[in-house]
Structure 1
Amino acid sequence: MRTEIFFVRHAHSTYTPEELTRPLSEKGIRDARRVTKILESENLDHVVSSPYLRAIQTVEEAADYLNQDVILIDGFKERLLPSAPLDDFQGAIRKVWEEPSFHWEGGESNVDAQKRGVAAMLDLLNEFEGKRVAVGTHGNIMVLIMNYFDSKYGLAFWESLDMPDVYRLTFNGIDLVGVSRLWEAFSEEEESQ
């Protein structure tokens, strides 16, 4: 039975050191409305999200459209890279992708973050088999989950993501059988109008 998961990387947020309550910026709020337009056309059954505010805010209008609450799932929260800010974020990301078991002090390795994210995804696929579910999440954990199902999704793919971004993942049981990007198609279509 086919299940469609719509991974939604959160829109632009206003930086604060507090991950849980970091809100969307004004641009992020505008882009979240565009995400809602995409999701409204996909006949969703449910909307779930990371417990981080920026992810929730990116998908909450889609849940409102369905007259549902956003279901919070801890496993879809962003991976913790270090416990303290790093001078070279890109270099830090590159290091954990090159050495999947490596972790920065207080952070998660790719192996650990992927294990957490994949457990959440497998639970979701089981609970909502045959449904269409939007998942408000974050770039790193999203790509780590996708990488588990298909190794072609790695660091270069993460570097190519927009903020926000929307991907439809089609599963047959727990086998990933298709991936399509919806954000790019929507953005180009909107620009041509």
Structure 2
Amino acid sequence: MEIWYVRHGQTDWNVEGRIQGSTDIPLNQTGIEQAYQVKQQLDQESFDLVLASPLLRAYETAKIICLDKAVEIKGDERLKERNFGSYEGTLVKAMPVGDFWDLKQDLCPENGESTRMVFDRIYAFLDDLKKLYPSHKILLVAHGGIAIPLRCYMEGIPETKALRSLIIHNCEAVHYQVDPDQIVKNPFS
């Protein structure tokens, strides 16, 4: 199985340094241009399956990437960004002390998702992909926070445990060859 993962293009809240989470924010003009740039990067790739977060910023990015491709884009709730609950819309620099991506702390914002909940969701999603589409070439378009458990699944947990460093840039594309028979252990199991 082959997976391409793309983070959505820039939004105004990215520029302002606001936590978006599950809040549905559209791409800004720069984000649209970034999506067209990653489209050019992936123009020579053909995909058997395209799955995108149903949040507007990711789904818009997927639609631009696939403009000339004969493939249906399917929204998948499991690819939604982490729900940061009461912190959504606040500035990242105003976050309380503590790392919301620290596996040991497993912090959960009020009315949001814990680190464990996000890892459980994405690890189960990737396990499902391996079972259902073992020989497919798949494009996933989602969010910076989803890149964290995805990269941990694909690359292993980093020694430093500094998981925030695994967030990829807007419209950055990462590529993986996946052995569908490989068993990946969830760090929370």
Normalised by the length of structure 2, the TM-score is: 0.79
Structure with the bigger percentage of helix? 1
**Alignment length, in residue pairs?**
172
Alpha-carbon distance, 1:87 to partner: 5.1
Which residue pairs with 2:148 in the alignment? Answer: 143
Which residue pairs with 1:13 in the alignment? Answer: 11
Q: Root-mean-square deviation (CA), in Å?
A: 2.6
Which residue pairs with 1:108 in the alignment? Answer: 113
Alpha-carbon distance, 1:116 to partner: 0.8
Q: For residue 155 of structure 1, what is the amino acid of its counterpart?
A: R
In the alignment, structure 2 segments of 5+ residues that lack a partner are 184-189
Structure with the bigger percentage of strand? 1
Structure 1 stretches of 4+ moved >4 Å = 16-20, 90-94
In the alignment, structure 1 segments of 5+ residues that lack a partner are 177-193
Q: 2:45 aligns with which of 42, 47, 50?
A: 42
Q: Secondary structure in 1 aligned to 2:67?
A: helix
Normalised by the length of structure 1, the TM-score is: 0.77
Deviation sequence 1:29-76 (CA, Å, 0-9, x none)? 111011111222223222110111110111113333222321111111
Which residue pairs with 1:180 in the alignment? Answer: none
1:12-31 map, 5 Å: 12-15=10-13, 19=22, 21-31=24-34
Alpha-carbon distance, 1:19 to partner: 4.2
CA distance in 1, matches of 2:31, 2:2: 25
